[in-house]
Structure 1
Amino acid sequence: MWDLAGKASSLGKVLILVENLSVPFDRRVWQESLALRDAGWEVHVICPQGTKRDTEPEAEIDGVRIHRYPLRAATGGPLGYLREYGAALWHTRRLARRVGRVDVVHACNPPDLFFLLAGGLRRRGAKFVFDQHDLVPELYLSRFDRGKDLLYRVVCFLERRTYRAADVVIATNESYRQVALTRGGKRPEQVFVVRSAPAVERFRQVPQEPDLRKGKPYLLCYLGVMGPQDGVDYALRALARLRDEVGRDDWHAVFVGAGDTFDDMVALARRLGLAEQVEFTGRIPDEDLLRYLSTADVCLSPDPFNPLNDVSTMNKVMEYMAMARPMVSFELREARVSAGEAALYAPGNDELEFAKLVARLLDDPDERARMGAIGRERVAGPLSWERSREALISAYQAAIGGAGQTRSE
């Protein structure tokens, strides 16, 4: 299927499975889909339908064929996820039959359940690529605070089965790669680092709009999902301390995004007396996102220290850097790997220190500009999607028997 130059010599068919976001809204999956299409693959994606976008059951976009199914998001704790994942598996199996024979099944987690569907496809000759977006055991510990109970042992078992079934593992960073090598028992030549990286051409500066600051000198911005482990509550408490203990009320803050805890975070902002200074937009079009990020003075990356966040690469960090914006983060291992000097780091989960670092950046426009330039240079260079694309193609070469090289950061 591949010639000696690493080019596609004949078409093969890839089936990408993703459960937790619709496509193309899932930027990582969409970038991977386009990269594989450009390499000569026929790409099919099975994913849930979105609620306000990506709503069509079937779509072909830029040559990628997308098959979507209806899915109700989990509520009510772990049992709600069992219901959600059961429905997702049923729909995915149904749509996979429609796609027919494939050469590669590319499964994105969570959940670590797609090996159940990949088995039948592998028996018909397909290779299995496991694209590990999350460490699900760490996600379980961080999200539910139930300790290493029976369900934790179940998710560990499912992760082991997924690793065992995979011909190749794609890790989002070096920390995840080490888990695949140790906990997963994979060989170095089977594990490739394909970092999530923004398409820098999507993130372009637009003229600042002072009106977005709502009459204040400065604008603070949060971009991302609002789930239990994403730290929006930490950010809000830090902003309350910025006002009350640091003595700064010369800012307006905007929180862009949605998620399971969106309504709870709006209520928390009211309880903290922040309703007049904090704005929640929900999900917004890219054009509006660029307006906010171009105007923002400091961006917030409040993901708290926990077993998952410490080793995960946050999309918001990469996107802030793509927009040349300085940020404040808690001290997390992979946050430092990604942002380097483009961020200031508060000790883990210390909201007052987080607030003080925000104030420090507000007072230093030269430092803000320096940090922003460093971030933009990193995502345009060593952390660029072009490098990740090369690693992705190498992973596919290895999966189908080529001489791919292990890619690290």
Structure 2
Amino acid sequence: CPKSEEYPRGHEVIDDIAIYRYKIPLNAEGVLSYFVEFAYAWVATALLSVRVLFREGFDVIQACNPPDTFFLLGALYKLVGKKFVFDHHDLSPEMFLAKYEKKNKLLYKALLLLEKLTMRTARIVIATNESYKKMAIMRGKKNPDDVFVVRTGPDLKRLTPRAPQPALKQGFKHLVCYLGEMCPQDGIEYLLQSAYYLTHSLGRQDVLFVLMGGGPAMPRFKQMSEEMGLQENVKFTGRISDDLVCDYLSTADVCVDPDPYSEWADHSTMNKVLEYMTFARPIVTFDLQETRNSAQQAAVYVKPNDIEIFAREIVTLLDDPERRRAMGAFGQRRIRNELAWNHTRQNLVAAYDRLFRPGYKYQYKEV
């Protein structure tokens, strides 16, 4: 996997798991760099896989995406008896359309082809939700018995609610939090526009917005915030420790997911939503299919990309503490009883049972 600011070491062992990382020289921001990033990731991973084969040994390659190019590696290792599992994290063709303003039909079709070849090479496909499972069956022509939904449920040992920390509000009455990577497709500009409308048009100067996380687009969004005159009401923390994330989410009055509508967003599960629910926080989000499937009654759903209604719904929740508590409690129960990792990991075990016992069938509960 690639190195990051949080995990800069090329090799380490965590919980008896050997981890090998490579350095990513750039974040793709155009079509050419998109190709370069894909090719570089494949070569770096292939070289590391040979090293792992001789140092550690392995029986299975479980490859997530993007990029959707590791089927070539899987096909090569299948020749020597290794098995290939596709861990389908993102709809790469739809993500490409969401990420870049200039559409390139040829590249989009190429991404569709890579996805199909990956599905065809994989013995088992792990999907993050029911929408992705349908894609694997319909677009990837997979046997439904070979596709397993394994949601990335929160780890309740790592994300632990605690007492609110009023000092984090910095003197403001209300705290609104965002958690996650800040990439071009993540809708941070919609959140900033909503924050501007809330503070200037609605006159709510009693609200602090805290945006937690890094990402290639964070500097641009931070500059946008300053140009909009939001320095007093919007704070960018950058990447912070899990402890501080827990403090902020335990203190927040409302959490937000500003992902705008796109085919990619509509079919994807946003981990931030599940993390908000873990901390019993009410959520304001644009109305996306898989977000609604995850949060259900824990969120208020706004017409996609309407920043004024988004801001008004934040204010409505801030002024209704009883409703906030009820929504938060519903979300937290749903995490603890259905969506936490200790529940969803059972499907991962079932996928590997299927991998090593081809006749094995497992009936899992859709959540």
Aligned twin of 2:354? 398
Tell me which amino acid in the other structure corresponds to 2:283: M
Partner Cα separation in structure 2 for residue 204 and residue 221 of structure 1: 17
- Which whole-Å deviations, capped at 9, do the CAs of 1:14-52 have from their partners, x for residues lacking one? xxxxxxxxxxxxxxxxxxxxxxxxxxxxxxxxx11223x
- Which whole-Å deviations, capped at 9, do the CAs of 1:323-370 have from their partners, x for residues lacking one? 111110000000110001101011011101100100000000111111
Q: How far 1:215 sits from its partner (Å)?
A: 1.3
Partner Cα separation in structure 2 for residue 388 and residue 73 of structure 1: 34
Partner Cα separation in structure 2 for residue 197 and residue 59 of structure 1: 25
Q: Paired residue for 1:96, among 42, 46, 49?
A: 49
Residue identity over aligned pairs, in percent, reads 43
Aligned twin of 1:59? 12
Partner Cα separation in structure 1 for residue 183 and residue 71 of structure 2: 26
- Relative distance call for 1:369 and 1:299 in structure 2 (3 A) is same
Q: Paired residue for 1:274, among 209, 230, 255?
A: 230
Equivalence map 1:1-400=2 (5 Å)? 47-51=1-5, 53-100=6-53, 101-147=57-103, 149-400=105-356
Report if aligned partners of 1:325, 1:371 keep a CA contact under 8 Å in 2.
Answer: yes
Tell me which amino acid in the other structure corresponds to 2:2: P
Partner Cα separation in structure 1 for residue 156 and residue 293 of structure 2: 19
- Which whole-Å deviations, capped at 9, do the CAs of 1:236-268 have from their partners, x for residues lacking one? 101111122223221111100011110111111
SS at the partner of 1:48? coil
Q: How far 1:148 sits from its partner (Å)?
A: 5.2
Partner Cα separation in structure 2 for residue 183 and residue 48 of structure 1: 28
- Which whole-Å deviations, capped at 9, do the CAs of 1:89-140 have from their partners, x for residues lacking one? 1121111111225321100001100001111111111111100000001001
Tell me which amino acid in the other structure corresponds to 2:362: Q
SS at the partner of 1:69? coil
Report if aligned partners of 1:321, 1:372 keep a CA contact under 8 Å in 2.
Answer: yes
Partner Cα separation in structure 2 for residue 225 and residue 56 of structure 1: 21
SS at the partner of 2:203? coil
Partner Cα separation in structure 2 for residue 406 and residue 125 of structure 1: 28
Higher helix fraction (1 or 2)? 2
Report if aligned partners of 1:299, 1:320 keep a CA contact under 8 Å in 2.
Answer: yes
Partner Cα separation in structure 2 for residue 366 and residue 156 of structure 1: 47
SS at the partner of 1:382? helix
Aligned residues: 362
Q: How far 1:75 sits from its partner (Å)?
A: 4.0
TM-score, normalising length: structure 2: 0.96
Structure 1 runs (4+) deviating above 6 angstroms are none
Q: How far 1:206 sits from its partner (Å)?
A: 2.3
- Which whole-Å deviations, capped at 9, do the CAs of 1:124-177 have from their partners, x for residues lacking one? 111111000000010011111333511111111111110110111100000010
SS at the partner of 1:275? coil
Tell me which amino acid in the other structure corresponds to 1:65: A
Q: How far 1:78 sits from its partner (Å)?
A: 2.0
Partner Cα separation in structure 2 for residue 165 and residue 284 of structure 1: 38
377-386 vs 360-369, greater mean Cα deviation: 377-386
Q: How far 1:201 sits from its partner (Å)?
A: 2.5
Which blocks of at least 5 consecutive residues in structure 2 are unaligned? none
Aligned twin of 1:31? none
Report if aligned partners of 1:127, 1:167 keep a CA contact under 8 Å in 2.
Answer: yes
Report if aligned partners of 2:27, 2:216 keep a CA contact under 8 Å in 1.
Answer: no
